[in-house]
Structure 1
Amino acid sequence: MTATPVLYTCARSRGLRATWAAEEAGVNIDLKVLPFPPRYLVPEYKEINPLGTIPMLIDGEARMTESCAIAHYLASKDGPSPLVVAPGEPDYAAYCDFTYHADATITFPQTVFMRFVLFEKDKGLEEAGHAYAKWFWKRLVKLEQRLETREFLCADRFTVADICCGYALVLSENVGLDEGVPDSLKVYRERLKGRDAFKRAVAREEAGLKALEEAGR
């Protein structure tokens, strides 16, 4: 009997990409929600993931720590899926590009903003954090232009690329970065948030967070 994949994450973190992908693909996962940041609050977690980062997926011998890669993996692990654009399809290159673009170009400046403006205010680096906020807003132009003539990013359907880029837009709303997000991308975000699988993913993570709070973690 094949063991159920285990996903370690924190509610509302980049791990939501993986939780969401699992819900969209109908893949059963053992979701383990940790307090944030786990490397300090759950030191034993570093025995599982020496980086101390989340998310972390364990599936048999597989060990994965990149949220976009995990989302792609979960969506495709059981075979071809409409959530993944396959080699040979016209938008295969765009699918790869936007899936990687999500973390490398969009989420990166968000994390710098969060660190220096929200988490480490006492270090006098808020100005740098706000500079990265502007960087984030400017980097949204690629998404904005891509979605001018289409409902989803690739192949005329919802894919993992939408999960990965869409999460960055959800994060901007949650951490005070919505000021510079174009209205067209806010409409796109609301369309994604209306998906049943997104709602289930959020509910699962919030339930895990509530359980932690009730346990005093």
Structure 2
Amino acid sequence: MDRPRGRPREAVLDAERITDAAYAVLRRDGARGLTMRAIAARLGVAPSALYHHVPSRAAVLAAVQERFAAGLDTSGFGTLPLREALARWAWSYLRRLREHPELVPVIVEVPLAQTPHTSLMYQRVIAGYAAAGWPEESIIASMSVLETYIFGAALDSPSPDDVYAPRSSAQEPLLARTYAAFAASVDDLGERPGDALFRLGVESIITGLYSVWGSGRGWATVQPPRHPGE
């Protein structure tokens, strides 16, 4: 029997469709639920069909990471002062993670050696620090501190705007006063509380890191406190 002419009715299975399906499974089931069987079920194929296009679950996770990193804004590095470039990168990171908070465990799980495009993204950030004269021993640490804060802010994003509102002004007068002052100041900024807090956090982290490494003391500034009795 002759094969029908024209394009097939079903889209041909490829790495892009597998990555699309992986995103969908991650959103529904999280990183633990991302299995080759779950991806295959999403696509309506046998799990063995996936291995013609991707060698393993680890390769799927790497593809997910690569697609995510491609959407991060590194355009400020080399064109803007480091503080502004970092803020631009951080905001693009937060927005992407707000769309896909389920990707946080994936990002921290996938080794950088398996993701060349993600590695290139980090190299651009690192080059920005280096061009600004930061000590080489400070760069990975400083980038990682900021990235860790971004992860936390993304996971906190679903919190309601009034999460700190007290039950009763009479029962909790100090909380009520401080919350009212905070809410009023954020309202003056014209931002949602989460955005205002993120802006403050990024600025504070960058300023603090400048203080640590600009002081010349470096790691000595951040030695852990001694425990009582030591």
TM-score, structure 2 length as denominator?
A: 0.27
Going by fraction, where is strand more abundant, 1 or 2?
A: 1
Please state which structure has a larger fraction of its residues in helix: 2
State which structure, 1 or 2, has the greater radius of gyration over its C-alpha atoms: 2
Higher relative contact order (CA 8 A, sep 6+): 1
What TM-score does the superposition give when structure 1 sets the normalisation length?
0.28
